[in-house]
Amino acid sequence: MPADRGWWDYRHLGAPAVRLGWQHGSAGRIDEGCRVDCWLCGDATVIRGARFEVFGEVEIIRAAAWVAAWLEGRTPAVARTVTGRWLAEAAGLPDEARAGALCIEDAMRSALTGWPQENGASDEH
């Protein structure tokens, strides 16, 4: 995440206007402090679009926007290697917001369920 904590990429926030072709996954509960919905589109070789709806702390919203931008153009195999711990470090989340990174991970993994896997894809970040 850029050093400027005011950075936002709004293009990656909210549900897609037309949901046809997008895979959806969710995790968490609003009444527990964090709910994340993940929307991904693409094919076995590339994620062409990534969006997150986040109901939680502002740091989690920023981390979700950051990882959505990061995911675009990467393979689904690489997306499967993303963990909440890695995301918390990469996005520079403060300690008190790190549990939200797990919610982002879970929503993303849910959206990837059933996504076709590319043979020989790299598992590197």
- Across the range 9-37, mean pLDDT stands at 89
Residue from 95, 17, 111, 108 nearest 66 by CA: 108
**pTM of the entire predicted model:** 0.84
What percentage of the chain carries pLDDT values higher than 90? 59
pLDDT score recorded for residue 110 = 96
Is 75 exposed, middle or buried, given 0-12, 13-18 or 19+ CB atoms closer than 10 A? buried
Task: Please give the Cα distance from 21 to 59 (Å, whole number).
Answer: 29
pLDDT in tens, 46-94: 999 999 999 998 999 999 999 999 999 999 999 999 999 999 999 888 8
CB 5 within 8 A of CB 62: yes
Cα(56)–Cα(34) distance, integer angstroms: 5
